[in-house]
Amino acid sequence: MDTIIPFDSLAEETLNNILVEVVTRDGTDYGDYDLSLEQKCQQAHLMLKNQQAFLLFDTESETIKLVSRDQMSQYDMD
């Protein structure tokens, strides 16, 4: 089962480290333009603040994912 991690409950440094790890994973696609690491992290943080995305702990892979609101129905939540 997957678990939502309330991003605002994390220490700032922890959240920043998670966002860096998530946005630098292979296969992350930002379209036809390049963004800096800082821009990618800011974009992800804004999505979290606006509840357009959520941090999910995937218990099978033991990783944290950034999942859009639209994709949430695909996950087995506890």
User: What domains can you pick out in the chain, each with its CATH number?
Assistant: 2-25+37-74 (1.10.10.610)
Q: Note the residue count of the chain.
A: 78
What number of other Cβ atoms are within 10 A of residue 53's Cβ?
23
DSSP-assigned letters across all residues of 15-42: HHHHHHHHHTSTT---TTS---HHHHHH
44 sits in which H/E element: helix 37-49
Residues 6+ apart with CB under 8 A from 70: none
pLDDT in tens, 16-52: 999 999 988 865 555 666 788 899 899 999 999 999 9
**Residue 62: pLDDT band with limits 50, 70, 90:** very high
